[in-house]
Every structure is written in C-alpha cells, then in structure tokens.
Structure 1
C-alpha cells in the first residue's frame, strides 16, 4: 500500500480489534521544550484523516505550550500484540473549536469532569485535592451536560514522514519509510 495514512488506519484497526491494552488508542507524543529537549507522554489518538493524526488536550498543558513554541512533533504507536511500531514526524496545528466540540461530546462524563476540574500539569497541593475538586465539579454540573472548557481542544499532526516497522520473529523486520513529496509520498524500504 503506497498511501501511508490509509496504511496507518489499517494497522490501527487491526491493533484495536485484537488489543489486550486498556488504553487501546494510546500513542506516545513527543514535543520539544524551549531549551530544545524532547518530552514524551502518552495521549489518546482520536482520529486519523487525510489531514493527519488528531489528539486532544488542555491547551494550557505542557505539551500544548511546547507546540505553541515549536510545532515540530513526533508520534509513536507501539502495538506489539499486532506486530507494529509506527513513527510519525510532522507539524502540529490546532483543531477548530467545532472539531474540539465534537471530540468533547464523544468523551465519557468522568473524562469531561476531570478536564473541567483541573489545570493539567499545574502543581497539586495534596492528593486529597484530586477527589475534592472532582466531586465539586461533578456537583456543579449535576444533571446537566459538562460544557467544554475554553482551554480544551486538540491538535492535528500533519505528517512529513511515516515509518512502519512490521515485526518478524527472525528479526528481519520490514521497515517502510514514507516521506511527503508535494501532495504525494515517496516510499523507501529500510534495513532492519
């Protein structure tokens, strides 16, 4: 398959279908801080489109601040149970408010409440504050929808390269590297 976006979607669906993971769509997102150091963490991949790979976050979080400073980003999917590692390098662009609304409404209530109750990555004075703040937010929104906070949105990673590694027991892993070229892709096989 010479369309890496379609290939990623196919691999993702195969990984989802037979996943032993609790967080089935988790991918590692690596950003670059103001000092040039990389920082990685796992997020939930929300969607894959021809435009790129979408994940959501608090727009005041460390990762969002990194992306506002430097839009270069790397995504890594590790689906050992399906035999894939996929690496994406690209540029992150904020999604629209309408897209953020759509992803917000698809979240479960507990995730909405947690996102509303806390300022992601900010200091926490004590562990008991987790329950207290969550419960206060739940009480404030009892019996009504939880509105999307203004600082909750997401990013679409527009890929410049995508590499697929298909694991083989004999360690002769198949590595397929795709580089963006205009509106298309150039494919290159890499040695394991």
Structure 2
C-alpha cells in the first residue's frame, strides 16, 4: 500500500475508471457562502496531480460566488461499485488562463456553445429561452472556432487533507488519512470507522 496519497489516488481512480458504469470522474463539491450556508453539487474532475484537483465551471455561477467568498472546499469521490470513497479538503484557486483555454478547446463544440449560452445558476423563465440563446450563439460562431468565454474557467483544489475510505463488512470500515505537513510532504494515520 502506498504512502503517497497521490499514487494511492491514481490507483483507486484507475480502478474506478475501469469499473464504474458512468462518470467515474464525478465528485461532490461542497462550498460555503458568506452567509455560512453550505451547498453541495456534483462536478467532474478534469485534471489531477500533486498540485491539486481541477474542475471547470462558469465563474459567474452561484458556486463561483461561494468560492470567491470562502475559498476552501471539500470534495468527495464515491465509487459504489468498488465500495470506496475519497474525501479531499483544502483551499481552492483559479486555474491559469492557458490551462482553461486548453481544456475548453478539448470540449465538444455543443458544450462550448452551451458555456456561452448559459447564465448558470440564474433564474430562467423557460427552457425555450435557453434554447433560443443556444441557437443565437451557434449562429454567431458558425464556421469558426468557439473561444473560451471570459466568465468560464478552471479551479484547482490544493489538498491539505485526503482520506481514503474502504467499505468493510458489518460497518467495520477502513479509513486512512493523509495530512499535509507544514514543511511539505504528508503525515499519515488510520481513523476509527
């Protein structure tokens, strides 16, 4: 068993990608706004490594507002078929423009157009309004590349705490925790189930 939390994450994530029937990269993102009200939603992991875990979104959405107000988050990966989960906590920062541009360029064209058409998290009077906006954006960029909207980009969660949870019979689960050490590196220990 690895004493490097990123190597252990890579191993578990590879197993999930091979066995999960849908969205093995789905993770719950928990944020807190200035009012102290927590909020959680599913987002997709689009990059990871020792520098953190990256996801992308509209930077004018409710979640982005909460990230600006309180730039600390929790992530949760739950892979039911493997009976495993990974919890990650730490500060969040903006991914670079170059990184956001590169990922945006890799998205399906319809997803690129949707990023322009959606005022994510804002009230919508009808589905028809959104579909009409999508058609307007589609016509606007017809025949050419779709640039990344200025209000859309990535966020990187830099982990300070990573917990690996393994389901065991009779709820006698196995929990392994890694805490980032002040000078770098990680301390490691077990937790009671």
Alignment-derived partner of residue 190 in structure 2: 189
Q: Which moved more, 1:5-14 or 1:38-47?
A: 5-14
Post-superposition Cα deviations, 1:90-143, rounded to whole Å, max 9, x if no partner, equal: 000101100101110121111111111111111111121122111221122122
Q: How far does residue 161 in structure 1 lie from its aligned partner after superposition?
A: 0.2
Question: In 2, distance between residues paired with 1:77 and 1:136?
Answer: 37
Q: 2:137 — aligned with what?
A: 137
Residue by residue over 1:12-62, the C-alpha shift from the partner in whole angstroms, topping out at 9 and shown as x without a partner, is 1110111112x3311000011111111101111001111110001111111
What's the RMSD between the two structures over aligned residues? 1.1
Paired position in structure 2 for 1:128: 128
State the alpha-carbon separation in 1 of the partners of residues 108 and 167 from structure 2.
Answer: 34
- 5+ residue gaps, structure 1, are none
TM value normalised by structure 2:
0.95
Residue in 2 that maps onto 1:14: 15
The alpha carbon displacement at 1:172 in A equals: 2.1
* Matched ranges for 1:34-113 at <5 A: 34-113=34-113
Aligned pair count reads: 191
- Which residue is equivalent to 2:6? 5
How far apart are 1:83 and its partner, in Å?
2.1
The runs of 4+ residues in structure 1 deviating greater than 4 Å are: none
Q: Structure 2 stretches of 5 or more lacking a match?
A: none
